Amino acid sequence: MKNYYLIILLFLIILTIKLSAQADNYNVYKPENYSKVDTAAQERVLFILDFSNSMTEVLGGATKLDMMLSTIRKILPALNPDASIGLRVYGHRMGFTQFDACHASTLMNPIQKNNTANLLTTLSRVKPRGMTPITFSLKQAVTNDFMGFSGKKHIILLTDGGENCDESPCEYVMELIKYRKDVTIDVIAFNIANQEDLAQLECTSLVTSGKFYTANTAAELANSLNDSLNKQKKVEAKIILPP
């Protein structure tokens, strides 16, 4: 019965997005738009970036890792220096056991102002190696990384695959919103074709009133990150949980 309700929930969320979301026009992407990024200083932003082994795959003549890093190197310097940002990565360790690999998630740069240079230095030395512990990363971010901060908390999760550590990010956020209303999760699904993975990630964003993006090129990736950093979130998911 629980699976039945979950299937219905995911269907309703996807249907809502199809009907209400405005399509991003990725064909009008212009690099000069980077200079207009102005994250609100009162909002804490945590990037959670995928460094799993699949990020070494080649897409359009470059690895997915290189595309991600190149885009972030252009966008971060244009952020308002008063913006409080931080960086968590996952999949950067293989681990001796699956348990270790599924806990390979590290806060590399705590959230603070004037943090761009620190993030860029970190990103230059992290290498993709392991699995995709998305749910564990979200739990660590919500429980620990934002500790001591009040106000809005904004997670930007960029991943090239779905959860593969026997957890569900969708189920986690459905429990989270019962007692936390201050966390918004935007998800950028980078070159993901698996429909079940996409549904899980879409649920993860919309349940928290975040935005969901799909990207398959460098331009699409850049537009997704720019939009996530700039636009106010107006999507609200109304969840009716089973008794």
The domains found in the chain, sorted by start residue, are: 43-230 (3.40.50.410)
The count of other CB atoms within 10 Å of the CB of residue 175 is 11
The answer on pLDDT for 203 being more than 90 is yes
Higher pLDDT, 23 or 208: 208
90 near 54, Cβ under 8 Å? no
Instruction: Determine the average pLDDT of the residues in 10-36.
Output: 37
DSSP codes, 59-118: ETTEEHHHHHHHHHHHHGGGS-TTSEEEEEEES----SSHHHHTT-EEEEEEEESS-HHH
Which secondary-structure segment (H or E) carries 206?
helix 195-206
**Residue (of 145, 192, 202) closest to 170 by Cα position:** 202
pLDDT above 60 for 88? yes
Output the average pLDDT for the chain.
82
31 has a pLDDT exceeding 50: no
| Spatial CB neighbours of 169, under 8 Å, sequence gap ≥ 6 | 134, 135, 138, 163, 200, 201, 203, 204
Q: What is the pLDDT of residue 42?
A: 66
**What is the phi/psi pair of residue 88, to 5°?**
-120, 140
Gap between the Cα atoms of 128 and 231, Å rounded: 30
Phi, psi of 173, deg, nearest 5: -70, -25
